[in-house]
């Protein structure tokens, strides 16, 4: 019985794909990773598309809709360049994971947590959690202690 992947699984595989793309992007492990990334795109594309369609700002809506279309096309492409394929699949999963989290946040009455990886927020550690309850998101570093004294207000992304 195959278990449904979590956001952590998807983000971890995406990071692994980016690392593998710069090292050894061929072989059984890379092929299995490509298959998983394609499955993730299939799982995430529906909620991401609903999020994109619900956006009011026409520019943001166009960008999000085109991103979902591109991710679906990337998932269907045959592998010509193994490194480029892994990078494109990984970045597509990253973006669809964000859009899907936004979609869940809009629908969910409680907190939503997703993984944000290094590079998304320069100067932050590799992994952070994003939690929102239909309010501006708050960023917390996994494993870090809460700062003492005055706390900064949540930053909107």
pLDDT digits (tens, 9 = 90+) for 44-88: 999 999 999 999 889 999 999 999 999 999 999 988 999 999 999
- Per-domain residue ranges for the chain? 7-107, 109-157
Please state the pTM of the whole predicted model. 0.67
- Per-residue pLDDT of 113-124, as tens digits, reads 544 444 444 444
Q: Which one has a higher pLDDT value, 130 or 96?
A: 96
Model confidence at 6: pLDDT above 90: no
Q: Which residues of 69-83 are buried (b: 16+ CB within 10 A; e: fewer)?
A: eebbebbeeeeeebb
CA distance 95 to 25: 21
CA atoms lying within 13 Å on the CB side of residue 128: 18
* pLDDT mean over 11-20: 93
* Per-residue pLDDT, 136: 37
């Amino acid at each position: 019985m195959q278990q449904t992947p979590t956001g952590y699984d998807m983000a971890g595989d995406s990071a692994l794909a980016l690392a593998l793309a710069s090292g050894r992007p061929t072989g059984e492990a890379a092929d299995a990773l490509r298959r998983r990334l394609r499955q993730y795109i299939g799982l995430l594309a529906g909620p991401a598309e609903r999020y994109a369609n619900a956006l009011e700002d026409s520019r943001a809506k166009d960008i999000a809709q085109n991103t979902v279309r591109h991710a679906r096309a990337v998932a269907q492409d045959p592998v010509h360049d193994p490194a480029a394929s892994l990078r494109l699949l990984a970045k597509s999963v990253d973006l669809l994971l964000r859009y899907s989290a936004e979609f869940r946040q809009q629908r969910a009455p409680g907190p939503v947590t997703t993984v944000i990886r290094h590079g998304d927020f320069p100067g932050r550690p590799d992994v952070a959690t994003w939690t929102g309850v239909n309010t501006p998101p708050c960023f917390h570093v996994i494993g870090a202690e809460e700062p003492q004294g005055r706390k900064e207000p949540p930053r909107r992304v």
